[in-house]
Amino acid sequence: MRPAYDDPRTTDQPITRAPPPPRAARGRRLGEEPLTEHLVDPDVPRDLHAFIAGLPKAELHVHHVGSASPRIVSELAARHADSKVPTDPEALVDYFTFTDFAHFIDVYLSVVDLIRTPEDVRLLTYEVARDMARQQVRYAELTITPFSSTRRGIDEGAFMDAIEDARKAAEAEFGTVLRWCFDIPGEAGLESAEETARLATDDRLRPEGLVSFGLGGPEIGVARPQFKPYFDRAIAAGLHSVPHAGETTGPQTVWDALIDLRAERIGHGTSSAQDPKLLAHLAERRIPLEVCPTSNIATRAVRTLDEHPIKEFVRAGVPVTINSDDPPMFGTDLNNEYAVAARLLGLDERGLADLAKNGVEASFLDAPGKARIADEIDTYTAAWLAS
Ligand SMILES: Nc1ncnc2c1ncn2[C@@H]1O[C@H](CCC(=O)c2cccc(C(=O)O)c2)[C@@H](O)[C@H]1O
Ligand SMILES: [Zn+2]
């Protein structure tokens, strides 16, 4: 069942810091036995959805264009009559139903084609931040693919100004801190790698909010090692390495990302569960996985949620963060991803708070910023449990 979407026109509530709502008499009962030390007391079920809705969060794996809400996409589609993207938000739900990963990429690129002016970029970025703030996201590292926009004719300087304007407005108006990850669309080859590395390392161009460098797109037929020179340049320029790996290919892709691209975090890393040595390595080196449960189902990378390897990651001691990847395209949002994690891992409020703090700890935010959000999570959780 797809969650109903808030249409900002009808629910354009001011962004507020959610106080802990009263504990519901009987909340949702959660699934299987908890894997964490925090047992969910079946006799005192709490409405974890309400807890999650107010829980301060950090999101580390979420795509710029992939986060365009149905309203934004339909508005942009209406501006461009030549687009095959539906203008009706309802028709968009069917349009965002994918037969496989390649189909997802085709649909994704049809939405990329709608972003044609710096104003489109600014509007999209600001609205994505508004949607995040509604979910109490205090900090997010938004993955942007500048190559896809500059090659479609958007001026590179105007592109950077547009995202930076939106970032500063979002922080001032919503209190949500945004940082950027620039990623290479791997299937576009070394030309796109060169362009992305140039935009990420040229001091005249690189935006103030840029913190990391990634690699997205299909993995099949797009081996990671070829991108080593570009990641070396990005790391030398002070950026953190966070490539996708192990989403639609096996554990070797994750090893390649770790060894050749010096990954500090892994996007998805789903197939790591097939290699016990890899799981042990990720746990021992505290290398976080950016887990996006519903994404893996929507792109058919994983067959069902119950088969998702997130439980294996937790059992192996691998740091797990929860993310939404391309929320409107996958009929989800970050809060729903936390609810999925709660069900799959049998978490209670403390377990969910730990998950949220994993996201903060794995982020590239400075130490004072991390401490501030972690304290907020603890204060919120304590107030909720005391209410
Ligand atoms: N779950 C995901 N897993 C992987 N990637 C994901 C995911 N979600 C979103 N993306 C994004 O999809 C794009 C793919 C773009 C791409 O493949 C491509 C190929 C050829 C030409 C061009 C072009 O622009 O001309 C682009 C990437 O930018 C990436 O950031
Ligand atoms: Zn992704």
Which ligand number lies closest to the CA of residue 265?
Answer: 2
pLDDT value for 71? 87
Per the annotation, the verdict on 247 as an active-site residue is yes
Residues in the ligand 1 pocket, defined by CB under 6 Å: 63, 66, 105, 108-109, 112, 143, 145, 148, 151, 183, 185, 187-188, 216-218, 244, 247, 295, 325-326
Q: Residue 178: which residues within 8 A CB-CB, separation 6 or more?
A: 125, 129, 139, 140, 141, 142, 166, 167, 170, 171, 209
Interface predicted TM-score (ipTM): 0.98
Q: Residue 368: which residues within 8 A CB-CB, separation 6 or more?
A: none
Q: How far apart are CA 209 and CA 326, in angstroms?
A: 21
Q: How far apart are CA 132 and CA 138, in angstroms?
A: 8
pLDDT value for 15? 53
Average pLDDT across the chain, whole number: 89
DSSP structure string for 343-382: HHHT--HHHHHHHHHHHHHHS-S-HHHHHHHHHHHHHHHH
Is the four-CA dihedral 57, 302, 2, 62 of positive or negative sign? positive
Residue tagged 């197939």 (tokens):
271
Q: How far apart are CA 258 and CA 12, in angstroms?
A: 43
pLDDT of residue 11 exceeding 90, the answer is: no
- What confidence category does residue 95 fall into, taking pLDDT thresholds of 50, 70 and 90? very high
Q: Mean pLDDT over residues 326-335, rounded?
A: 94
pLDDT value for 81? 82
Name the token pair of 152.
């479609």
Q: How far is the CA of 105 from the centre of ligand 1 (A)?
A: 6
Q: What does the pLDDT look like over 183-200, one tens digit per residue?
A: 999 999 999 999 999 999
More confident residue, 6 or 170: 170
Q: What does the pLDDT look like over 270-324, one tens digit per residue?
A: 999 999 999 999 999 999 999 999 999 999 999 999 999 999 999 999 999 999 9
pLDDT of residue 35 exceeding 70, the answer is: no
